[in-house]
Amino acid sequence: RRPKNFPPGPSPLPILGNILELSLDNPLKDFERLRNTYGNVYSVFLGTKAAVVINGMKAVKDAIVTKGIDFAGRPQDLFVNDSTERKGVILADYGPSWKDHRRFALMTLRNFGLGKDSMEERIHGEIKYITDDLEKSIGKSLSPQLMFHNAASNIICQVLFGQRYEHDDEFIKVILKCFTDNAKLANGPWAMLYDSFPMIRSLPLPFRRAFKNVKTCQALVLPVVQEHKKTRVPGQPRDFVDCYLDRLDKEKGNDASTFSEDLMIMYILDLHFAGTDTTSNTLLTGFLYLMTYPHIQERCQQEIDEVLGGNDQASFEDRHNMPYVQATIHEIQRVANTVPLSVPHCTIKDTELMGYSIPKGTLIIPNLTSVLNEEGQWKFPNEFNPENFLNDQGEFVKPEAFMPFSAGPRVCLGEGLARMELFLILVTLLRKFNFIWPEDAGKPDYNPVYGVTLTPQLYHMKVQLRETN
Ligand code: HEM
């Protein structure tokens, strides 16, 4: 039963709730249909658990920004919580440990922006591997999935461990395999059953694989941490692990400290997971559109040539002189809709939204998809069109409804890093190469595969060196 004044929604069946109304393959259309019937704030029962789905810019902002703290929790009784042992930051509930670790990561990432091994240099270092790969494929048709995935993974590995890995390196291969398997399990029927029927949780069913996968990853990261302990110079951190070890030194004797070696390992895995598929799928979507809208690709290249002049390497600062490129990258993020339902939130106290009462502990699904394509918020909500981010003077403007990183206290903590990666990778590659949709590839399919992150359908690309080089 719905509590008093709870958001409306379809009648639930006993035990199953409304799960039969939601396609497990891709519930986004079902969420849209329910929005048309019940309005921007409605509820569904996932098994016996009530969830509130929030749609449209106004309601989403009202919840996660205006009443940000009320909505800043994470549910703690789901399959994903158990599989990650309630450690890390993405799924940590609102509280001192989440706050300390979030602040720590933001500060650490910011500090890497400065100095000689700056984030920009780490990213440019990795871009060199992409351009080498592409140069070897000039005139041929190539599948870019692994290349971009690897680049995103290595950039975050550089930040975390000060190291990159070849894609066939056992360390990264196993981590990737475990996380892909866990993402699939988390999205599939076994997780749904686990969440809906607590009595089956201790049974030896396929969901137990997820727990084993996490243990395997932890065991892989542990020796990397041990190695750091041996080689580090306290106070002179080379990477995230060193920074965390410095912090542990500082916290010695503080009984209330939320920092621990155990947490660090899951934190590292969290950051790697959060930073890899998101960035690589956004890049893949970007090149899919740039190839099939060649006039947009060309206009970006013109602007890049003008701004860079004789300079070979772009810097992140150059974005201020590239309104069209900026608009194109933002438009790519808008249509990529990489994290379509954000990460689930949870209310930390009884609260209200748009006149409805929402009790403490309610699972909240912020439907970012409904904001990124909302009629009335965009000049061209259903097209791929950089004009969505340009004013009449051709200047870059960012509408309020641009929230692929979500918003409020739980906004993506890798936003700065992701934006820098997207800009530097796209600008460097467009400067050097033309990207062409192969003649024999048929019509492009823009419908992504649904998951925690949306993944473009597999495709091939052709590359040519640009004549300006
Ligand atoms: C295009 C790339 C990316 C997109 C679209 C994206 C999007 C998101 C979204 C929608 C959330 C959920 C926010 C919420 O719960 O309201 C999130 C959370 C998070 N992201 Fe990202 N992300 C990207 C890249 C990254 C990168 C590179 C990192 C790594 C440094 C990262 C680390 C995180 C973390 C740690 C959280 C959890 C924050 C918290 O719970 O406090 N993300 N991201």
CA 102 – CA 408 distance, rounded (Å): 13
Q: What is this model's ipTM?
A: 0.99
Of 435, 455, 438, which Cα lies nearest the Cα of 447? 455
- State in Å: Cα 417 to ligand 1 middle: 10
Give the mutation target among 98, 342, 372, 405 for probing the ligand 1 site: most ligand atoms within 8 A of CB.
Answer: 405
- Dihedrals phi, psi of 84, to nearest 5 degrees: -100, 15
- State in Å: Cα 286 to ligand 1 middle: 18
pLDDT tens digits along 112-147: 765 556 889 899 999 999 999 999 999 899 999 999
CA 127 – CA 135 distance, rounded (Å): 12
Strand runs labelled E in 120-192: 141-142
pLDDT of 334 > 90? The answer is yes
Q: Which ligand 1 atom is the nearest neighbour of the CA of 159? A: 30
What are the DSSP calls for 389-400, one per residue? GB-TTS-B---T
Tallying the residues shown for the chain, one arrives at 469
Domain boundaries, the chain: 19-465
Report whether residue 282 contacts ligand 1, using a CB cutoff of 6 Å: yes
CA 245 – CA 249 distance, rounded (Å): 6
Report whether residue 308 contacts ligand 1, using a CB cutoff of 6 Å: no
Q: What is the mean pLDDT of residues 375-386?
A: 98
Q: Which ligand 1 atom is the nearest neighbour of the CA of 342? A: 10
Report whether residue 406 contacts ligand 1, using a CB cutoff of 6 Å: yes
pLDDT band at 19 (very low <50, low <70, confident <90, very high): confident
Q: What is the mean pLDDT of residues 245-258?
A: 95
Within 13 Å of residue 333, how many CA atoms lie on the same side as its CB? 24
- Dihedrals phi, psi of 21, to nearest 5 degrees: -85, -10
Report whether residue 462 contacts ligand 1, using a CB cutoff of 6 Å: no
Report whether residue 336 contacts ligand 1, using a CB cutoff of 6 Å: no
What is the pLDDT, as a whole number, of residue 114? Answer: 56
Q: What is the mean pLDDT of residues 346-361?
A: 97
Q: Which ligand 1 atom is the nearest neighbour of the CA of 344? A: 15
- State in Å: Cα 140 to ligand 1 middle: 35
Of 413, 403, 330, which Cα lies nearest the Cα of 367? 403
Give the mutation target among 74, 154, 412, 423 for probing the ligand 1 site: most ligand atoms within 8 A of CB.
Answer: 412
Q: Which ligand 1 atom is the nearest neighbour of the CA of 419? A: 1
- State in Å: Cα 316 to ligand 1 middle: 20
CA 440 – CA 184 distance, rounded (Å): 32
What is the pLDDT, as a whole number, of residue 115? Answer: 57
What is the pLDDT, as a whole number, of residue 468? Answer: 63
pLDDT tens digits along 254-288: 999 999 998 999 999 999 989 999 999 999 999 99
Does residue 243 have a known ligand-binding role?
Answer: no
Residues of the chain with pLDDT > 90, as a percent, come to 77
Report whether residue 279 contacts ligand 1, using a CB cutoff of 6 Å: yes
Cβ–Cβ < 8 Å for 76, 49: no
162: left (phi over 0), alpha (psi -120 to 50) or beta: left
Q: Which ligand 1 atom is the nearest neighbour of the CA of 155? A: 27
Q: Does domain 19-465 have CATH number 1.10.630.10?
A: yes
When the pLDDT of each residue in the chain is averaged and rounded to a whole number, the result is 93
Within 13 Å of residue 40, how many CA atoms lie on the same side as its CB? 18
Q: Model pTM?
A: 0.96
pLDDT tens digits along 174-207: 988 888 888 888 877 788 788 877 888 989 888 8
Tell the residue number behind the tokens 């041996």, with chain if given: 230
CA 167 – CA 181 distance, rounded (Å): 17
Cβ–Cβ < 8 Å for 341, 369: yes
Q: Which has the higher per-residue pLDDT, 469 or 272?
A: 272
Least confident span in 62-76, 99-113, 249-263: 99-113
Q: Quick one: which H or E segment has residue 432? A: helix 415-432
Q: Where are the alpha helices (DSSP H) in 46-144?
A: 57-61, 79-83, 96-112, 119-136
